[in-house]
Amino acid sequence: MKALILVGGFGTRLRPLTLSVPKPLVDFANKPMILHQIEALKAVGVTEVVLAINYQPEVMLNFLKEFEKKLEIKITCSQETEPLGTAGPLALARDKLIDDSGEPFFVLNSDVISEYPLKQMIEFHRGHGGEASIMVTKVDEPSKYGVVVMEETMGKVEKFVEKPKNFVGNKINAGIYLLNPSVLDRIELKPTSIEKEVFPEIAVENKLFAMVLPGFWMDIGQPKDYITGLRLYLDFLQKNSSSKLATGSNIIGNVLVHESAKIGDGCLIGPDVAIGPGCVIEPGVRLSRCTVMRGVRIKKHACISSSIIGWHSTIGRWARVENMTILGEDVHVADEVYSNGAVVLPHKEIKSSIVNPEIVM
Amino acid sequence: MGSSEDDKVVAVIMVGGPTKGTRFRPLSLNIPKPLFPLGGQPMVHHPISACKRIPNLAQIYLVGFYEEREFALYVSSISNELRIPVRYLREDKPHGSAGALYNFRDLIMEDNPSHIFLLNCDVCCSFPLPEMLDAHRNYGGMGTILVIKVSAESASQFGELVADPDTNELLHYTEKPETFVSDLINCGVYVFTPDIFNAIQGVSSQRKDRENLRRVSSFEALQSATRNLTTDFVRLDQDILSPLAGKKQLYTYETMDFWEQIKTPGMSLKCSGLYLAQFRLTSPNLLASGDGTKNATIIGDVYVHPSAKIHPTAKIGPNVSISANARIGAGVRLISCIILDGVEIMENAVVTNAIVGWKSSIGRWSRVQAEGDFNAKLGITILGEAVGVEDEVVVTNSIVLPNKTLNVSVHQEIIL
């Protein structure tokens, strides 16, 4: 079975992290974002994944070679030379997605983190016999998104309404599709929107069905949602494979610690924390609701909450970092400094406190 | 040592490196600062072409921390264009500017030069190098420093010097002092005789001796202010100029022309204007002209790359520089701005006090503007590479990082 992951775009909302690596390679819960998806696809028998990209192909290709070997799955790239929207890339990758088997193929949006119940989706798709299946997820504020109006019993999709002013439903497109090869005949190689042009066409023919996503879902394309997404993901891990989470008297709630990370005495870690490979957390540190990327050193007595600390950064002794502080790669926060929501570009030193949220270039 | 007029001269231009200069962001996210265009030419082009006026110039070295490939194309094309050998040398680790000179002394001395110029790339001035060399020969010292008078308030940002008013000898030098010493400052342009290498080596060995001594006495270790510097890290200002002041070795040459440091994007707009004004005097044929009949109306000093296209109803200037393949539509007004390669500005848009990044697109009736304070953090609006400003949107006093599209107006903001 084949799959396409829509990676396109510059990831500008995840800056400054995406100034150092392309978005799909930004770590989430100690794993590159895209690896979560590739592993879920492999688990249901996908043998080839095509990445639809338009940015930094060299960096992506290097990473992919490494993971192709480890995961034993074929990974190729389909590079857009001009932006093709959300459907055009499927046409571009047509030859890679269709083979003689006539099997349907998955399409995933790379910004999405969820439980990926792909096996259930395959059964759902076979069950209704239609041309295309999409996952939808329930949200509190549907008018921020595109709402999928569907009939309850079979899940047949009636229409899409973009950012509705009045309530028409609370299910939105979760960015996970399972499509028959015939869908590709509907897509021309030009900038095309799958939600605005392709799916409505299939819906009118009563061949589009939606499945409500069980479990958590988050678009982690921006820092605020990344932090919320980590909470949801760790909660999922706790229910399904709690052995992966850390335990101990210095751990509160769900905490993920890479085996190569070191945590000193007298620390209090959690809830909702991820600590990456090679990190050193010195004694007396308090961490909550934060992500600490590879190679970071947090010095004694520091306190970090609701923040993301980029690769190879350091946080000084007694520093306090909170309220959506996002540090890019190689940022060094001096001892005793306070950061309230600073967003810091890579390769900087923060020597004095930042009392109000600001961008440090 | 006897100096004849046939003696060769080598110039060394310090170009810095990528992670050291974060102040030039966001422009430095896409291009090494030395290659950013001022007055239509890369920043480093200005000192390089000034060097060409030095008689018997044998070689120019660019020294920095950038990867070689970032300068390979530029160096080969400029060598060809100016018919002087220009070579980029990459430092493997920081040596300080004097240490860097010393690090490459074998290459520098290959041509057996009688004099060596050392220039900082991010300095904007008229580079009166032949005149400096003549003055230096007359003084007969080891080195001559280019200096300029500035206002007393701004002097403390630089190296302040005191010079003998009759002999022009350097009497005293201090870097960024807290109290007022002098309104005469160091321009970052120097000429030396090869004795400079002995002086630098002297500092290195002195430091080595002190280090050895330190191993014997730990009190010495606590005392030493230079304990963090390795023996081959030699700063020009603190380690050479300061100690040698007043010893009849160093002299000063004062320039009465303009001088600025190009540390931020805002300053690059100011310096682009200074160079355009200089072209008005030295090579007016490089500047654009037009009166709105066949070509667009041009006011003041304006540079337009030959491949750029401007609609005749546009009005351009003063202080505007337009790079290759830019397209300026009908009724556009450009004032005090740098328009980089491939930019498209649609009808009736206005751009003032801004730098518009490569391949950006500025919509109809949109306005990209700033208050024009070259020194303020948001005093000049900067649009990074491939930024889209949609029709009728106003962007004021803001910085926009590459690949963003603005469909609502923004004011006083940094958009990542």
User: Does the distance separating the beta carbons of B22 and A348 come in below 8 Å?
Assistant: yes
Determine which of B52-56, B66-70, B207-211, B298-302 has the lowest per-residue pLDDT on average: B207-211
Kindly report whether the peptide bond that precedes residue B94 is cis, defined as omega within 30 degrees of 0: no
**Residue A338 confidence (pLDDT):** 94
Beta-bridge partner residues of B90: B64
CB contact set of A189 (below 8 Å; sequence gap of 6+): A84, A88, A91, A92
Tens digit of each residue's pLDDT (9 = 90 or more) over A158-205: 988 888 888 888 999 999 999 999 999 999 988 998 888 899 999 999
Please check whether residue A14 touches B, CB under 8 A: no
Residue B14 CA to chain centroid, in angstroms? 9
pLDDT band at B308 (very low <50, low <70, confident <90, very high): very high
**pLDDT (mean) for A214-242:** 91
Tens digit of each residue's pLDDT (9 = 90 or more) over A267-294: 999 999 999 999 999 999 999 999 999 9
CB atoms closer than 10 angstroms to residue B69: 8
Q: How far is A24 from chain B (nearest CA, A)?
A: 17
**pLDDT (mean) for B358-376:** 95
pLDDT band at B228 (very low <50, low <70, confident <90, very high): low
User: Does the distance separating the beta carbons of A343 and B22 come in below 8 Å?
Assistant: no
CA nearest A5: which of A81, A67, A97?
A: A97
pLDDT band at B20 (very low <50, low <70, confident <90, very high): low
Please check whether residue B214 touches A, CB under 8 A: no
**pLDDT (mean) for B32-57:** 95
**Which value, to the nearest 10 degrees, does the dihedral of the CA atoms of residues A190, A191, A192, A193 take?**
160
Tokens 């006011």 correspond to: B299
User: Does the distance separating the beta carbons of B399 and A12 come in below 8 Å?
Assistant: no
User: Does the distance separating the beta carbons of A12 and B404 come in below 8 Å?
Assistant: yes
CA nearest B232: which of B201, B209, B194, B190?
A: B201
Please check whether residue B416 touches A, CB under 8 A: yes
Whole-number Å distance between alpha carbons of A31 and B53: 57
Tens digit of each residue's pLDDT (9 = 90 or more) over B335-354: 999 999 999 999 999 999 99
Please check whether residue A171 touches B, CB under 8 A: no
User: Does the distance separating the beta carbons of B402 and A345 come in below 8 Å?
Assistant: no
B80, B170, B316, B331, B372 from B304: Cα distances, Å: 23, 43, 10, 17, 22
> What percent of chain A is modeled with pLDDT above 90?
70
Determine which of A112-116, B117-121, B153-157 has the lowest per-residue pLDDT on average: B153-157
CA nearest B232: which of B211, B214, B209, B205?
A: B205
Whether the predicted pLDDT of B5 surpasses 80: no
On average, the pLDDT of chain B sits at: 91
Q: How far is B122 from chain A (nearest CA, A)?
A: 19
Contact between residue A7 and residue A93 where contact means Cβ atoms under 8 Å apart: no
Please check whether residue A294 touches B, CB under 8 A: no
**pLDDT (mean) for B375-386:** 95
Whether the predicted pLDDT of A142 surpasses 90: no
CA angle (B235, B237, B238) in 5-degree steps: 75
Contact between residue B112 and residue B124 where contact means Cβ atoms under 8 Å apart: no
User: Does the distance separating the beta carbons of A348 and B401 come in below 8 Å?
Assistant: no
Whether the predicted pLDDT of B3 surpasses 70: no
* Rg, C-alpha atoms of chain B: 23
**Residue A232 confidence (pLDDT):** 94
Whole-number Å distance between alpha carbons of B329 and B313: 8
Interface A–B counts its CB contacts (< 8 A) at 24
User: Does the distance separating the beta carbons of B414 and A359 come in below 8 Å?
Assistant: yes
Tokens 């929501």 correspond to: A341
Whether the predicted pLDDT of A254 surpasses 90: yes
Residue spans in chain B of domains classed CATH 2.160.10.10: 266-411
User: Does the distance separating the beta carbons of A359 and B19 come in below 8 Å?
Assistant: no
User: Does the distance separating the beta carbons of B402 and A10 come in below 8 Å?
Assistant: yes
Tokens 């921390």 correspond to: B65
Residues 347-406, chain B, touching A (beta carbon < 8 A): 399, 401-404
User: Does the distance separating the beta carbons of A347 and B26 come in below 8 Å?
Assistant: no
H or E element at residue A158 = strand A157-162
**Residue A215 confidence (pLDDT):** 86
Q: How far is B195 from chain A (nearest CA, A)?
A: 37
**Residue A84 confidence (pLDDT):** 86
User: Does the distance separating the beta carbons of A10 and B416 come in below 8 Å?
Assistant: no
pLDDT band at B19 (very low <50, low <70, confident <90, very high): low
Q: Which residues of B touch A10 (CB under 8 A)?
A: 402-403
Tens digit of each residue's pLDDT (9 = 90 or more) over B275-296: 999 999 999 999 999 988 889 9
Please check whether residue A237 touches B, CB under 8 A: no
Q: Which residues of B touch A343 (CB under 8 A)?
A: 416
**Residue B218 confidence (pLDDT):** 56
Chain A residue whose CA is closest to B415: A359
Q: How far is B19 from chain A (nearest CA, A)?
A: 6
Please check whether residue A351 touches B, CB under 8 A: no
Residue type, A251: I
Please check whether residue A204 touches B, CB under 8 A: no
**Residue B216 confidence (pLDDT):** 58
User: Does the distance separating the beta carbons of B403 and A361 come in below 8 Å?
Assistant: no
**pLDDT (mean) for B305-310:** 97
Mutation target among B69, B401, B405 for the A interface, most CBs of A within 10 A: B401
Please check whether residue A347 touches B, CB under 8 A: yes
On average, the pLDDT of chain A sits at: 92
Chain A residue whose CA is closest to B414: A359
**Residue B217 confidence (pLDDT):** 56
Find the CB nearest A15 among B19, B399, B416.
Answer: B416
**Residue B214 confidence (pLDDT):** 63
3-state percent helix, strand, coil for chain B, nearest multiple of 5: 30, 30, 45
Contact between residue B37 and residue B43 where contact means Cβ atoms under 8 Å apart: yes
**Residue A269 confidence (pLDDT):** 96
pLDDT band at B14 (very low <50, low <70, confident <90, very high): very high
The domain made up of B266-411 is a member of CATH 2.160.10.10 = yes
Whether the predicted pLDDT of A57 surpasses 80: no
Contact between residue A128 and residue A116 where contact means Cβ atoms under 8 Å apart: no
**Residue B1 confidence (pLDDT):** 47
Contact between residue B128 and residue B23 where contact means Cβ atoms under 8 Å apart: no
B185, burial (CB in 10 Å: exposed 0-12, middle 13-18, buried 19+): buried
User: Does the distance separating the beta carbons of A19 and B26 come in below 8 Å?
Assistant: no
Tokens 């974002």 correspond to: A33
Tens digit of each residue's pLDDT (9 = 90 or more) over B250-275: 999 999 999 999 999 999 999 999 99
User: Does the distance separating the beta carbons of A19 and B25 come in below 8 Å?
Assistant: no
Residue type, B121: C
User: Does the distance separating the beta carbons of A361 and B22 come in below 8 Å?
Assistant: yes
> What percent of chain B is modeled with pLDDT above 90?
79
Find the CB nearest B22 among A15, A347, A359.
Answer: A347
Residues 13-72, chain B, touching A (beta carbon < 8 A): 19, 22, 25-26, 29
Residue spans in chain B of domains classed CATH 3.90.550.10: 9-216+228-263
Q: How far is B369 from chain A (nearest CA, A)?
A: 20
**pLDDT (mean) for A14-33:** 93
Chain B residue whose CA is closest to A331: B19
Whole-number Å distance between alpha carbons of A155 and A132: 12
User: Does the distance separating the beta carbons of A347 and B414 come in below 8 Å?
Assistant: no
User: Does the distance separating the beta carbons of A359 and B22 come in below 8 Å?
Assistant: no
> What percent of chain B is modeled with pLDDT above 70?
94
CATH classification number, B9-216+228-263, choose in 3.40.50.2300, 1.10.150.110, 3.90.550.10, 3.40.50.150? 3.90.550.10
Whether the predicted pLDDT of A74 surpasses 70: yes
